Structure 1
């Protein structure tokens, strides 16, 4: 998606340790017009895949999921990064290793929001090593639901997450795939 790639080049910042900072438009301060176009693009890609729920992980994926859900007219469900006191009933849980924060945590999702009849589109802002995505896929497996597809705003193509998900047979659509990054250089993979 050229619009997203251009915005990354304009406002993104490459930081040491293969960190791409896009907090001024995607995951801290939000450019709602850009998010709307992202949602429209995910709808274009997955509209014929029978999606009846959108699943993400808190917090950065929520805005992307909500804007996309408007096009599908389906609910958004998000996994929490810690079991809070206000989650009632039984929950699905999975362990996730965070690339950004460098720690492991449990994600939780109330069982009443995801079941075997659901056809889920999983969305997130970044895909690097795929650990968060594996946690969400584990939750889907526990629920017995089917995964219609995976939508990612920015994939770090030089890290293994995307290749592993594609090799596992998932329909994965990344709107911008970063081919390489250095302090003063960033290139995208042709799609």
Structure 2
């Protein structure tokens, strides 16, 4: 599952690479949903289902241990101090993501905002049931499955370093 898939280029690429997988994508931005649908239509990819709604509410309805992998790339950083309470990665949401992963399932995240990366790292390292895949409990190398997206290229142009995080659900 990819949460906040933007224009869908990453989710479409994964779905094409792994036709045997059932892929889920969640996005509230209607043009992004349309973009993904066009990509899937053009390539004949049919293993993706889309949630075009508030993903938090929807995820709360799902049973435990359902997903092998959850990907969140470049979530809205809400950079102003007064906005940071709106950031997606908060303790309750991290616990929900952990609950949805199968034991051994992987949570992959990336951001190009250093202070958000620090917040994400602190929250996820403190989430019971999640284990950072890095021995030093720090940032991870870029996962092999993550393609360079438009959002990441924009961050690079702005001189932002990308911080990847990777966690596994404990049994």
How does the TM-score come out when normalised to structure 1? 0.32
Determine which structure has the larger strand proportion and give its number.
1
> 1 or 2 for the larger relative contact order (CA 8 Å, sep ≥6)?
2
Name the structure where helix makes up a greater proportion of residues. 2
What TM-score do you get using the length of structure 2 for normalisation? Answer: 0.35
